[in-house]
Amino acid sequence: MPVNDTHPPLKSPRTGVLLISLGTPERPDASAVRSFLQEFLSDPRVVELPRLLWLPLLHGLILPFRPKRSAKAYAKIWNYDTGESPLKMTAVAQAQDLNARLSNDDIIVDWAFTYGSTSIKGQIEQLQSLGCRRILLMALYPQYSATTTAAAYDKAYKALTQMRVQPAVRTIHNYHDHPAYIEALSNSLRDGLQQLNWEPDVIVASYHGIPQRSFNKGDPYPCHARKTSRLVREALELSEDKFATVFQSRFGKAEWVRPYAEETLNELAKSGKRKVVIFAPAFSGDCLETLEEIDIGLRSSFMEAGGTHFHYINCLNASKLGMDMLETIVQENLEGWK
């Protein structure tokens, strides 16, 4: 006997692209920041310590105190007109721009955060409901790290385990040395330098750091970062003494990958190199670590150490340079699906 199929027919197959960023608190207050940090710092990918050791420290020493300090930092960069963080505004703009560029190919582009609201699971389900049977996941971290890229894809894979009908899925592993990325970074730097009426002694590439133990276990992130720096330096035809690579955002007392950003900037100022331009190649969108930590915190530290000129060049964000780069990389990874 024929099966009586009462299920509705499947929609015409479409392809989804999900751009994934780390995430942000909903508000610049201690309560919202605490909720965000609890989820973020509870991820074993982010803090690779035994849970019996780490979780008591997190809940006993960090979460009772750090959210209030972090909330003050977020308040310095928050867009109170829209009620959103800069990172969320950029995430939305990137997805909308790329969606407009690719919509003629029956492709839907959306965005998600690894932590906080607008979850990866929810957005995959949303794309499926719109008829996407194939989804390309792009974690917006040019340099691969288990602490960022793998953490994002872990969330996606976990979501898939709960689905009766799973979409076909592809992931973008990294793009730290992709020609389109290097070209976008280099042109962004050239544009930024042309706006200055002074010449920097050193151009500094500042990357978010990771613990040294993560690198010792095989995380390729520091190697990817240094290759990005080398390719950008070569594209700008700069000598090695005119370019520095540093790592920022240290947390805790453990050894992290060196050289440290604040130490290096202070040493530059004290050695007579008092004019610096700094950019942040590991960040696809400006956020707390760039707008507050670099452009406010590192600036202040550098000037106190004797610096005279400090200029921060914004991330690619949703600029034409950045969106041209994202479109190129996404198109390449959609080959065979369109």
Specify the pTM.
0.94
At residue 82, the 3 state secondary structure works out as coil
**pLDDT for the residue 104:** 81
The whole-angstrom separation of Cα 20 and Cα 112 is 5
Mean of pLDDT values over 282-308: 98
Tell me how far apart the alpha carbons of residues 32 and 118 are, in angstroms, rounded to a whole number. 15
Region 46-60: what's the mean pLDDT? 95
Tell me which residue of 61, 76, 127, 74 sits closest to 99, measured CA to CA.
Answer: 127
Strand partners, 171: 137
| Average pLDDT estimate for 286-291 | 98
> What's the Rg (C-alpha) of the chain?
21
Confidence of residue 338 (pLDDT cuts 50, 70, 90): confident
Alpha carbon distance, N-terminus to C-terminus of the chain: 38
Asked if omega into 142 is within 30° of 0 (cis), the reply is no
pLDDT per position as a tens digit, 87-111 = 999 999 999 999 999 988 799 999 9
Give me the domains of the chain, ranges plus CATH numbers: 14-175+323-333 (3.40.50.1400), 179-313 (3.40.50.1400)
Q: Residue 105: what pLDDT?
A: 75
